[in-house]
Chains A and B, each alone.
Chain A
């Protein structure tokens, strides 16, 4: 939907923003209609039935079940239309697409630290390519923050000790506001930045111009060795005294207590910081805790490394995993798996 001619609408630069705007127009339309209707009727009644004689007593009217039903049912139907519309967009957005490029975001008082899966780091700036799906994996080092890009109509809280995600696909090149939207202390209003949407080719140039930094997966592999994970989980995550880590993310894991779960960021974080919480079936509770020994960023690096361990068994991190590098053209993108 082309909305640039309408006043008081923020720049619309993602696949979601025009959907939210359409919902906004519907909500505003209904509100305007009812506000005008009710104030119009009130003004009309107040003028028409103004008191003409100080002692007049109008005839009482007790009410009407028909009218009560009417003005309960019609607002309910309208409310349900708003519910369904809003819920539908929300539900769609809650599931990031499988082929999205992942970018890690760490919020701390009062800055945004961003790392691309190829290793480029940014502070308070997020460079992204136009027309590609981007998934943000976010966590905080201290208190709660919120990653808000008004032009994309998205926001999500960024919490300590937890991973939240949101995704988007930019539809318009340009520079947009990035705000922290959850009050986080003294310089909350200074925790702002820019989102720079570039043409894919420019973006690839930008990426290579910033090359030479270690990718999180490589850094994660070094941590994997220095923390000694290697002794139980194997040099390439193939497992040993500890369970295998190859292809862990998204896989169903059976636990010793008979339950099972699908491995995600929250599960992996918990297993590193509090290994006794969920023991994989067939293994003993022998892993020591790493609570306080790894920073949120190092956790992200470890996860990146684990994600890079594919079924082929090769530690992809030595040669950066092709799927982590945004490809120049979508057609040339290698398939996942």
Chain B
């Protein structure tokens, strides 16, 4: 019998994690991973909006070649703060802290994360880091670029470098705690029958991400600490005038910040694996290859930081090795793309909004990943490093990759999270607008970059204007597209259609409990007897339908 069992009682739908308790205190002191996920959702949405505002000023300034809208000093702060906020306060926590927090326990059949109090602590730490950073912005801002390169940041910048660094330093601990919590939870709290190879790929991706968070984040903490020492006391670690080496800073910085790219994109790959399998009703093609490729990316990701230093006076031989390893880390990503594509073969593919984001992700991630190969190629990188080619490449990974996965996942699990359906028509429409706007924004930047336009330029030679105008036009479409889900998701919380327990008819554990789920997630401990993505076979498809009815009626 391959029928889908439901672990719920008829009364479950009435009391859920949202209405179980009322009042501000019940939220601010909650230990429920689902409520903490919502706290995170609120805070990262605020930072995303703020980072987007800075992006808008960048694109407005670059409409014309002259630096006319903002002063140079202001422009430098605007692009720095756009980067800091988007990277450290939106992208890094985005999927793990919201969708991961909500779903890791649910997908493995646990009642909560292993350390619920630490989970709440991680949100407060994140918030503290965020507030310190906002203080830095309000006090006068920071102008070092999000990369904080020494000796500019240690000696020459007259801005709030230490405050901004402290914000990142503090928020890093929230990332470490989240990673730690996930690792322990996945190891120790899987439901009976939920073996490692029955785990949804979302969990594998979060496991790999957590390893990077726990092992990599301390390095950025140390780097920022050294930077602060150097700036305050001139101890001579990075400043050549005092016998230091500014390139050492770059090594330390990228030793974390390159793996941090995988913190941003691995969870997104996990989401896309879920979406591709579930919306084509197929088990994922090559499950183990996709699962292990996440781990391979996490491990190799630590060995490629030197590709950020090809023109930074690094030795030629180090350049050769880092180039080789950077090509090697592309292979696990390629394996994922091919397996996702093969999963579609002979599937039953629906065109729901989450699936549109997943398909968009594959296309954009392919371009982002392939242009990564351009940059791993030494002689090519020499020409385009620090140009708009780099800017375009990493936005394809971070927006086309990480953000598309996040939006796809948010729509996919929205019925579970909020208990309401989002408006499907608006969902599809905005997904298309975002896709078009994104490409129009960043494709022209590849061209401008190869033509030689350097990044972080407040004013630029007029021959690059056409590409910047296209890019700014695209950015306004992208910004408009992103406002649509912001509006209808909020709207749907009150006015959306009530969601069934399993609106997409899927086998995953999170769908076998009411929407929104009760505080304990499952009223009965689930016993897993099926493989990941094991859909009921065609001859039993009525069973799926009947069980769906059962889910909302009686047990």
Q: Do A and B come from one complex?
A: yes
Q: Interface of A with B (CB < 8 Å)?
A: 8-10, 16, 19-20, 23-24, 27, 30-31, 34-35, 38-39, 41-42, 45-46, 49-64, 67-68, 71-72, 75-76, 79-80, 82-83, 85-91, 93-94, 109, 142-144, 146, 148, 150-151, 153-157, 159-162, 164, 177, 179-190, 192, 274
Residues of A within 8 A of B324 (CB): 83, 87
Bits for B123-163, please: 1 = Cβ < 8 Å to A, else 0: 00000000000000000000111000101100111000000
Chain A at the B interface: SS class: mixed
Task: Give bound CA distance, A46 to B347, whole Å.
Answer: 9
Q: Does the CB pair A64–B535 fall under 8 Å?
A: no
Asked, given contacts A90-B378, A143-B152, A154-B382, whether A71 binds B338 with beta carbons under 8 Å apart, the answer is: yes
Q: Does the CB pair A148–B452 fall under 8 Å?
A: yes
Residues of B within 8 A of A41 (CB): 341
Q: Does the CB pair A42–B283 fall under 8 Å?
A: no
Asked, given contacts A9-B450, A10-B452, A85-B377, whether A30 binds B535 with beta carbons under 8 Å apart, the answer is: no
Instruction: Check B53 for interface membership: any CB of A closer than 8 A.
Output: no
Asked, given contacts A8-B451, A90-B379, A155-B382, whether A49 binds B345 with beta carbons under 8 Å apart, the answer is: yes
Known: A31-B374, A63-B342. 5 other contacts (CB 8 A): A20-B383, A57-B537, A63-B339, A79-B330, A87-B324
Which stretch in B17-25, B226-234, B313-321 binds the other chain?
Answer: B313-321
Query: What would be 14 A-B contacts, judged by CB atoms less than 8 Å apart?
Result: A16-B379, A20-B382, A38-B362, A39-B366, A45-B345, A53-B541, A62-B283, A154-B383, A157-B313, A185-B152, A189-B67, A189-B72, A189-B460, A192-B461
Quote the shortest CB–CB distance from A268 to chain B (angstroms).
16
Query: From B538, which residue of chain A is reached at the shortest CB distance?
Result: A57
Asked, given contacts A10-B450, A144-B149, A155-B311, whether A58 binds B538 with beta carbons under 8 Å apart, the answer is: yes
Q: A30 contacts which of B285, B370, B450 (Cβ < 8 Å)?
A: B370
Interface centre among A19, A53, A60 (most CB of B within 10 A): A60
Residues of A within 8 A of B52 (CB): none
Quote the shortest CB–CB distance from B450 to chain A (angstroms).
7
Residues of B within 8 A of A177 (CB): 452, 461
Interface residues of B in 374-402 (CB under 8 A from A): 374, 376-383, 385-387
Q: Does the CB pair A46–B349 fall under 8 Å?
A: yes
Q: Does the CB pair A42–B378 fall under 8 Å?
A: no
Query: From A32, which residue of chain B is reached at the shortest CB distance?
Result: B370
Residues of B within 8 A of A82 (CB): 327, 373, 376-377
Q: Does the CB pair B313–A49 fall under 8 Å?
A: no
Task: Give bound CA distance, A42 to B542, whole Å.
Answer: 29
Q: Does the CB pair B454–A55 fall under 8 Å?
A: no
Quote the shortest CB–CB distance from A201 to chain B (angstroms).
29
Task: Give bound CA distance, A197 to B313, whole Å.
Answer: 26
Interface centre among B328, B344, B362, B460 (most CB of A within 10 A): B344
Residues of A within 8 A of B457 (CB): 188-189
Residues of B within 8 A of A162 (CB): 240, 313
Task: Give bound CA distance, A34 to B39, whole Å.
Answer: 41
Instruction: Check B346 for interface membership: any CB of A closer than 8 A.
Output: yes
Q: Does the CB pair B454–A27 fall under 8 Å?
A: no
Asked, given contacts A27-B377, A156-B311, whether A190 binds B459 with beta carbons under 8 Å apart, the answer is: yes
Quote the shortest CB–CB distance from B21 to chain A (angstroms).
37
Asked, given contacts A87-B323, A155-B383, whether A51 binds B350 with beta carbons under 8 Å apart, the answer is: yes
Asked, given contacts A144-B151, A189-B456, whether A50 binds B313 with beta carbons under 8 Å apart, the answer is: no
Quote the shortest CB–CB distance from A159 to chain B (angstroms).
6
Q: Does the CB pair A58–B348 fall under 8 Å?
A: yes
Quote the shortest CB–CB distance from A42 to chain B (angstroms).
6
Residues of B within 8 A of A160 (CB): 151, 240-241, 246
Sorting the interface of chain B by its residue count into under 10, 10 to 19, 20 to 34 or 35 or more gives 35 or more
Query: From B359, which residue of chain A is reached at the shortest CB distance?
Result: A42
Task: Give bound CA distance, A156 to B533, whole Å.
Answer: 51
Quote the shortest CB–CB distance from B540 to chain A (angstroms).
7
Q: A49 contacts which of B348, B373, B452, B461 (Cβ < 8 Å)?
A: B348
Q: Does the CB pair B341–A38 fall under 8 Å?
A: yes
Residues of B within 8 A of A53 (CB): 348, 541
Task: Give bound CA distance, A150 to B344, whole Å.
Answer: 43
Task: Give bound CA distance, A121 to B27, whole Å.
Answer: 68
Chain B at the A interface: SS class: helix
Instruction: Check B407 for interface membership: any CB of A closer than 8 A.
Output: no
Asked, given contacts A38-B337, A189-B459, whether A68 binds B450 with beta carbons under 8 Å apart, the answer is: no
Asked, given contacts A8-B447, A55-B505, A57-B538, whether A155 binds B386 with beta carbons under 8 Å apart, the answer is: yes
Residues of B within 8 A of A189 (CB): 67, 72, 454, 456-460
Task: Give bound CA distance, A40 to B118, whole Å.
Answer: 46
Task: Give bound CA distance, A189 to B386, whole Å.
Answer: 12
Q: B537 contacts which of A52, A59, A182 (Cβ < 8 Å)?
A: A59
Interface centre among B72, B319, B378, B387 (most CB of A within 10 A): B378
Asked, given contacts A51-B348, A56-B348, whether A91 binds B320 with beta carbons under 8 Å apart, the answer is: yes
Task: Give bound CA distance, A8 to B289, whole Å.
Answer: 39
Quote the shortest CB–CB distance from B522 to chain A (angstroms).
24
Query: From B356, which residue of chain A is reached at the shortest CB distance?
Result: A46
Q: Does the CB pair A27–B380 fall under 8 Å?
A: yes
Task: Give bound CA distance, A49 to B346, whole Å.
Answer: 6
Task: Give bound CA distance, A60 to B457, whole Å.
Answer: 52
Q: Does the CB pair A58–B76 fall under 8 Å?
A: no
Instruction: Check B545 for interface membership: any CB of A closer than 8 A.
Output: yes
Q: A90 contacts which of B73, B319, B337, B371 (Cβ < 8 Å)?
A: B319
Residues of B within 8 A of A143 (CB): 151-152, 155-156, 246
Asked, given contacts A23-B379, A42-B362, A75-B331, whether A49 binds B344 with beta carbons under 8 Å apart, the answer is: yes
Task: Give bound CA distance, A192 to B454, whole Å.
Answer: 11
Query: From B458, which residue of chain A is reached at the shortest CB distance?
Result: A189
Asked, given contacts A79-B330, A186-B72, whether A58 binds B376 with beta carbons under 8 Å apart, the answer is: no
Residues of B within 8 A of A16 (CB): 379
Q: Does the CB pair A72–B335 fall under 8 Å?
A: yes
Query: From B337, which residue of chain A is reached at the shortest CB distance?
Result: A38
Instruction: Check B334 for interface membership: any CB of A closer than 8 A.
Output: yes
Query: From B377, which residue of chain A is reached at the shortest CB distance?
Result: A86
Leading 8 A-B pairs by shortest Cβ distance: A150-B452, A161-B240, A86-B377, A89-B379, A90-B378, A189-B457, A63-B286, A45-B344
Residues of A within 8 A of B540 (CB): 57
Query: From B342, which residue of chain A is reached at the shortest CB distance?
Result: A67
Instruction: Check B536 for interface membership: any CB of A closer than 8 A.
Output: yes
Quote the shortest CB–CB distance from B95 to chain A (angstroms).
22
Residues of A within 8 A of B520 (CB): none
Residues of A within 8 A of B247 (CB): 159
Q: Does the CB pair A146–B72 fall under 8 Å?
A: no
Q: Does the CB pair A46–B152 fall under 8 Å?
A: no
Quote the shortest CB–CB distance from B356 to chain A (angstroms).
10
Instruction: Check B258 for interface membership: any CB of A closer than 8 A.
Output: no
Quote the shortest CB–CB distance from A250 to chain B (angstroms).
18
